[in-house]
Structure 1
Amino acid sequence: MTADPQWVPTESDVRDAVVTDFARFVARRHGARVDDYRALWRWSVADPAAFWQDVWDYFEIRSATDPGPALADGAMPGAVWFPGATLNYVDHVFRNARPGTPAILYAGEGATDVSVGWDELRSEVAGLAATLREHGVGVGDRVVGYLPNIPEAVVAFLATASLGAVWAACGQDYSAPAALDRLGQLEPKALITADGYRFGGKEHDRLAASADLRSGLSSPALTVVVPHLDPDAVVDGTLTWAEATGRDAALESVAVPFDHPLWVVFSSGTTGLPKGIVHGHGGVLLEHVKSLALQLDIGRDDTLFWYTSPSWMMWNFQTAGLLVGATIVCYDGSPTYPTPDALWALVSRLGVTVVGTSPGYVLACDKAGVVPVREHDLSTLRAVGVTGSTLPAASSLWLSENVGRRVPVISITGGTDVVSAFVGGARSVPVWPGELSAPCLGVAVDAFDESGQSVRGEVGELVVTAPMPSMPVSFWNDPDGKRYREAYFDVFPGVWRHGDWITITDRGTVLMHGRSDSTLNRNGIRMGSADIYQVVEKLPEVAEALVVGVDLADGGYWMPLFVVLSEGAELDDALKQRIRGAIRDQASPRHVPDDIIEAPGIPHTRTGKKLEVPLKRIFQGADAGRTVDRSAVDDPDLLDWFARHGR
């Protein structure tokens, strides 16, 4: 922990923040003393029913029927929110429409920027909804997308949701079999796909993969093909995008119950068939207006660009920018093409006010010597969000120094499970390097030791002790809820255990230590892999690293560190000593690995998470073919290399 924050809100930051206005609303209504963010958070988790009712009222959420009490039953799992409510997510998107302004900005590698106005967005959503309805899609039916991050994906989602149908999608970097593992579980009535995507300076044709997926889905009643790469692309037996959206129709949304499924998002699926996680219209709506407006301070004058893919929950999160009237950016391409600073060039060109990225990209910019604030006009930028893995203190400081000291760095942690964040920041809260600024409002975050006791200043399990509206309604194909309960509630009954190690500090910030299921446990001392990555990946010779702790058959413990070297670097004895010394000095002697091994690469899920747990299982003797679904891995050939190099 560092003594001094890297960013402190000004008086005007605090005064003008949406969260401050919300606190005034709470104070007037309840007479509550919520003079600062910490006090507001404490009140929000002490009385969740009152807090979520206030979110409902402050943002003027509308129900076609009497919504009933905010929290009719607070049990976990099984909490009951607004039991009488009937509403539709899409209504609340278009309530915030700003005619004459862009709803979506599109940018792609080698493509012309496109602006989609609110009126155009409504027209296309209405047209596609009418086409889906004509082909038999109604309440509860599923529509799936196999699409890049393009405006058409947003239109398809909104059209589906307006009908009370259920949306699910994955990006076209997934193979057809991998997409089928996910989308095939849903038995969809309609498929929306595209002819391909752009990445790394190349156009990737996906018509053949789309045909394979369509066949595997048993030829849904409707298939629509977006001619993204080739404007003349036509596929027999399908509708073009223009045909599907071009009709003159009014947008008529269907009011559905609060918990009615909005979408199904999928777990990474590296160790079995991907779990389909179902979220409801009302829960997502409440959680996302809270997160976008109160945590990230995003509103009608903002342009939000989070580098993401339809495969990742951050696509769903970014789309929610429309709920608060913001403009969102869809980008089809690599953040590092044609140069490492490509993302910052987009921020400048599109006038982005809030950008989201990953710790890996920040580190890559640092090592490439990029200085965005010197090379690009970032005057519109108000905040940088970071998620996907732990943001080291050095990377947080790099952002401050090279993007702008006036720009807060909001590091967040959450998950697909709640399609939002547990811990993050707010415009009225300081930022300390390497720390997450504060628990999110309405999220009763705690750290538990093994006996279920709350701990401070030491490592514990990240738990949530009160329900959130965006907790899953269910898992797909889990009729008795057994898999859902086992996933979150088996360890501490009635308490959500997320599977991350954290430390809650005396000042209320949070330190992340990595996944608890990949914990390093040497001689009974628990350590997080993130603590090692923060040290090793700062070294200029190391491009990326992975550490695992392996329980050996003879009772021993092996903790190897695999490193991918930067171009021109050599893993000689001198570098090994530097790595060990850095870990010893900046983490602890216990964190020093048994072996340091050069690797050709590190395998990740397709949403960028290192495969620590599957590789640990392989090293402990599990069959690689049964342990990992190769189609869910970014570079499957690396699995074979690691299998050969395990003991």
Structure 2
Amino acid sequence: MPNDTGGPAVLRPPADDVLDTTALGRYVRWLAAERGRVFSSYDELWRWSVDDLEGFWSSIWDHFGVRGTYDTVLGDRDMPGAQWFPGATLNYAEHMLGLPEDADRTAVIARSQTRGPVELTFAELTDQVARARAGLRRLGVGRGDRVVGFLPNVPEALVAFLATASLGAVWASCAPEFGARSVIDRFAQIEPTVLVTVAGYTYGAKEIDKTAEVAAVRAGLPTVRHVVGVEYGPHRVPDALSWDDLLSQEGSGTETEPLTFEAVPFDHPLYVLFSSGTTGLPKAIVHGHGGILLEHLKSGAFQLDTRPGDHVLWFTTTAWTMWNIIISGLLHRAAVVLVDGNPLYPDLTEQWRIAAGTGVSLLGTSPAYLMSCRKEGIEPACEVDLSKLRMLGITGSPLPDEGFEWAQEQFGDRVLVNSMSGGTDVCSGFVAGNPWLPVYRGEIPGPCLGVDATAFDPDGHEVVGELGELVIRKPMPSMPVRFWNDPGDERYRSSYFEVYPGVWRHGDWVVMSSRRTFVISGRSDATLNRGGVRLGTAEFYSVVEELPEVADSLVVHLEDSGGGPGELLLFVALSDGAELDDALRARIRGALRTELSPRHVPDDIRVVPAVPRTLTGKKLETPIKQILRGRPPAEVISADAVSDFSAVAAFAMSDAGEGDDA
């Protein structure tokens, strides 16, 4: 928790030459030279960025040389419905593919367990996008049509997306590990006309045949007129146009078309991202060309310090917003490293080996992975060559204090440990580190530029040093254009603006310090309330999962409708060979009591075979709570939206596991 009584020790201070060597520093110098604005600290810069939205976002447009013109930055600032850059036209894909001088620069480095390495220059990537664009046009795709990809994280997914965007058509993607029902639940909402898909892939040592799922998806999407099959592994998509034929001009009756870009309004749909869909039909979140372009220019440079010639890698799938974020490294003329397969095969060191082999400057991963490496005694900086690594990006869940310390021990001040939090909802971060801020143990260093992030109490007052709701008080260009098929924006409004009218409530509990650092304490709909004191679930996990016997955990509070303390249940998945005996129970309770408080001590500790998670790795706290209240799992959780639905069964039984008499 942020410490306001003197503050925690700084693990890594900003470098003395930070404004001379970083992308953020280049922007600060540009502001001084071009706008006459001089800032002596990040806090000053951030305050200006949220106090003067017009000045800040126009500077992003001009500093990065967005191709297009505008008269007004913010036509309407009310949320929801803020109107950004009315009248401006542009195209996101045009900015991704570079200028003639970038032609020989590396754009894509792909590594896969299904096929050999692939690398593309910006010229080669541009050529493939031009061919794919022409192929989609031959299939009748035009402005506003939807193209969807059931694809792994491979270059073809990137090419198909950029070709779609260049036409002013709308993209959406799902990873091939999704079940057919999950894919249909997502894609059917937007009524696509073209499906691009693989028929299988290799995951570690396993060959996965997805032909049955592809057939089911086709049957469940009656609007699809054309299917394009990407050859990937031994399996083939029957009755489909091959990817090579889509890109081929032979037999088309036309000469190769020049690559052009449809100029579209600022808020024209670029892609649709989907929420997890664990408790109902996934939200179809529409993002616009202009909002995503400006946000990713800003966040890629200032949060992630992406520079021309860098190699950037985030372990993700095409179903997670991090895919959309990391491929935007192309905006900064960095090479994007696309990895498909099991990132833990053949062992935990594989992610570090891939990072070393591709020479990445930015490596994005998860707290769970880092904590596993720590637990197993892996020393990546000693075991592989990570000399080019400048930043370690971490998101998906809170990074425990010990994770910060482990990373600092491994890399020292040479690598910035950048813990960040945001969401699919804005396809970016709200709070994050950057080179101009110090890294404190266990804390996210501050709000991102242009993001008026703070913590509110239930009455809508800002709170410092205590648990509150993460809110955004002013609009951001990358807030959703809308939800697809949401008449009157009713679902959109209820998702973010129902609790605090005119203020975005994200759904995370946070503690904000007087230094405006943040600690994410878990989802607010899963936060525990014992005796009037709110407890963040992330606090439990950071303590319990430090024990070598505990592989994973999940905590739920079942409130007492009569006003009593209720029941606090802790579920643990044990490491191989471990047993939940009296000694381990005592150690768990003792650790929670000592490191957190007596209120954190569970009433019952139960063993489960595994902790169910969404396909992007988030624990199913709220759905499990509903199941423990007696709701059938099928009513609460979509089986295809969960990594291991069989793990839910242990929670569906009220007497699951061996109880612990509190």
Please, what TM-score do these two structures have when normalized by structure 2? 0.95
Task: Tell me by how many angstroms 1:622 deviates.
Answer: 2.2
Task: Tell me by how many angstroms 1:110 deviates.
Answer: 6.1
List aligned pairs for 1:565-604, cutoff 5 A.
565-604=574-613
Per-residue displacement from partner, 1:1-57 (whole Å, max 9, x unpaired)? 462111122212342111122122223444434112111001101111110000000
User: Which of these residues, 416, 421, 435, is aligned with residue 413 of structure 1?
Assistant: 421
**Equivalent pair of 2:8/2:441 in contact (CA under 8 Å):** no
Aligned to 1:124: 128
**Equivalent pair of 2:211/2:236 in contact (CA under 8 Å):** no
CA distance in 1 between partners of 2:589 and 2:84 (Å): 52
User: Which of these residues, 201, 209, 217, is aligned with residue 213 of structure 2?
Assistant: 209
Unmatched segments (≥5 aa) in structure 1: none
Task: Tell me by how many angstroms 1:75 deviates.
Answer: 0.5
Aligned to 1:83: 86
Task: Indicate whether 1:8 and 2:13 are aligned.
Answer: yes
Task: Tell me by how many angstroms 1:334 deviates.
Answer: 1.7
**Equivalent pair of 2:557/2:568 in contact (CA under 8 Å):** yes
Per-residue displacement from partner, 1:503-534 (whole Å, max 9, x unpaired)? 11122211111111101001111110001111
**Farther off after superposition, 579-588 or 104-113:** 104-113
Aligned to 2:252: none
DSSP-derived class of the 1:268 partner: coil
User: Which of these residues, 624, 641, 644, is aligned with residue 650 of structure 2?
Assistant: 641
**Farther off after superposition, 364-373 or 347-356:** 364-373
Task: Tell me by how many angstroms 1:555 deviates.
Answer: 4.9
Aligned to 1:337: 345
**Equivalent pair of 2:145/2:169 in contact (CA under 8 Å):** yes
Task: Tell me by how many angstroms 1:405 deviates.
Answer: 3.9
List aligned pairs for 1:531-546, cutoff 5 A.
531-546=539-554
One-letter amino acid of the counterpart of residue 152, structure 2 = P
CA distance in 2 between partners of 1:6 and 1:222 (Å): 54
Unmatched segments (≥5 aa) in structure 2: 250-255, 657-662
How many residues were matched structurally? 643
Task: Indicate whether 1:221 and 2:229 are aligned.
Answer: no
List aligned pairs for 1:328-407, cutoff 5 A.
328-407=336-415
CA distance in 1 between partners of 2:330 and 2:555 (Å): 40
Task: Indicate whether 1:238 and 2:247 are aligned.
Answer: no
Share of identical aligned residues, percent?
49
Task: Tell me by how many angstroms 1:235 deviates.
Answer: 3.9
List aligned pairs for 1:130-169, cutoff 5 A.
130-169=134-173
1:110 to 1:631, Cα distance in 2 relative to 1, 3 A: closer
CA distance in 1 between partners of 2:114 and 2:375 (Å): 26
One-letter amino acid of the counterpart of residue 362, structure 1 = L
One-letter amino acid of the counterpart of residue 78, structure 1 = G
Please, what TM-score do these two structures have when normalized by structure 1? 0.97
**Farther off after superposition, 499-508 or 273-282:** 499-508
DSSP-derived class of the 1:548 partner: strand
Task: Tell me by how many angstroms 1:201 deviates.
Answer: 2.0
Task: Indicate whether 1:252 and 2:254 are aligned.
Answer: no
Per-residue displacement from partner, 1:328-350 (whole Å, max 9, x unpaired)? 01111122110111000001101
DSSP-derived class of the 2:110 partner: strand
Aligned to 2:485: 477
CA distance in 2 between partners of 1:27 and 1:623 (Å): 60
**Equivalent pair of 1:615/1:642 in contact (CA under 8 Å):** yes
Aligned to 2:73: 70
**Farther off after superposition, 525-534 or 208-217:** 208-217
Per-residue displacement from partner, 1:220-257 (whole Å, max 9, x unpaired)? 22211111113xx5544311111111333321110000
Task: Tell me by how many angstroms 1:219 deviates.
Answer: 6.2
DSSP-derived class of the 1:559 partner: strand
Task: Tell me by how many angstroms 1:619 deviates.
Answer: 1.2
Task: Tell me by how many angstroms 1:451 deviates.
Answer: 0.7
DSSP-derived class of the 2:540 partner: helix
One-letter amino acid of the counterpart of residue 52, structure 1 = W
Task: Tell me by how many angstroms 1:479 deviates.
Answer: 2.2
Aligned to 2:107: 103
Task: Tell me by how many angstroms 1:197 deviates.
Answer: 2.1
**Equivalent pair of 2:19/2:28 in contact (CA under 8 Å):** no
CA distance in 2 between partners of 1:460 and 1:300 (Å): 39
**Equivalent pair of 1:34/1:43 in contact (CA under 8 Å):** no
1:110 to 1:195, Cα distance in 2 relative to 1, 3 A: closer
Aligned to 1:44: 49
Cα RMSD (Å) of the superposition? 1.4
1:250 to 1:207, Cα distance in 2 relative to 1, 3 A: farther
CA distance in 1 between partners of 2:238 and 2:200 (Å): 17
